[in-house]
Amino acid sequence: MNQTKALVGHVKTALEKGSPDKPLYQRLSLALLDALLIGNAASGDGLPSERRLSADLGISRVTVRRALDILARDGRLQRQQGAQTRIVERLQKTLSTVTGFSDELTARGSVPGQRWISRKTVLPTPIEAMSLGLSTSDPVVRLVRIRTADGRPLAIERATIPQAILPSGDLVDTSLYAALRSLGAGPVRGAQRIRAGLMSPVEAELLEAEPGAALLIIERRCYLADGRAVEFTETRYNGKLYDFLTDLGH
């Protein structure tokens, strides 16, 4: 009961902050996705029924169904007629140390590199705003680049940082974390979620691979010592070139 109440509460808040330009079912799917990402419901858990969500949110069942269908097509939910809708299991790893891409590749014995796609100051998407604890009117710096290992495209990285913390994307040369540390805003803790995906034709072209090839998608949120969110990053790795490694404690 408490979990459902928390989920519904977060979705209502997210809907209020979402862009009114989008159809309601799309805004609802984004709000539900954000609730899943921040942990208001756990992997394998069942979601409230369409009827319950409709009543609690004051939204028609048709709209709720369309929003859930979007998440099911994206692999976030498992839907089966006559059965409860369940959250598809995702791997989540809490970071014991916050390591940037360049440091990580160097530690693996590879030479890191990059190719910038864009460095812009923009208004955040609803998911970026909620991930960073901002309103949709608070500007952010969005950094999009191709990350390379030994000269070969390895990943597409999209990092979003509040402009109040990083005034301009031009301050970032190779390492985002080095730029943040120079501003006294180095992240001290974070968490990341990992899921699988398939490359779109555009992603395949950027990563010099075939459309439909495997992706390893890592979403990362990092925080300052005072608890403020400093970074929301999604990195899409070529699954054939990247293995996720982590040490296990005793």
The pLDDT value given to residue 129: 87
Structure tokens at 95: 């970071």
* Residue 5 neighbours by CB under 8 Å, 6+ apart: none
pLDDT in tens, 175-223: 899 999 999 999 988 888 888 889 999 999 999 989 998 898 988 899 9
What letter does residue 108 receive in the DSSP assignment? T
Separation between Cα atoms, residue 9 and residue 41, nearest integer Å = 12
**% the chain with pLDDT above 90:** 33
In the chain, CATH 3.40.1410.10 sits at 92-238
Q: Which CATH architecture has domain 2-87?
A: Orthogonal Bundle (1.10)
Q: Which residue has the higher pLDDT, 12 or 118?
A: 118
In the chain, CATH 1.10.10.10 sits at 2-87
**Residue whose tokens read 């909620």:** 130
Separation between Cα atoms, residue 195 and residue 90, nearest integer Å = 6
Q: Which residue has the higher pLDDT, 164 or 41?
A: 164
From the candidate CATH numbers 3.30.2020.30, 3.30.930.10, 3.30.565.10, 3.40.1410.10, the one assigned to the domain spanning 92-238? 3.40.1410.10
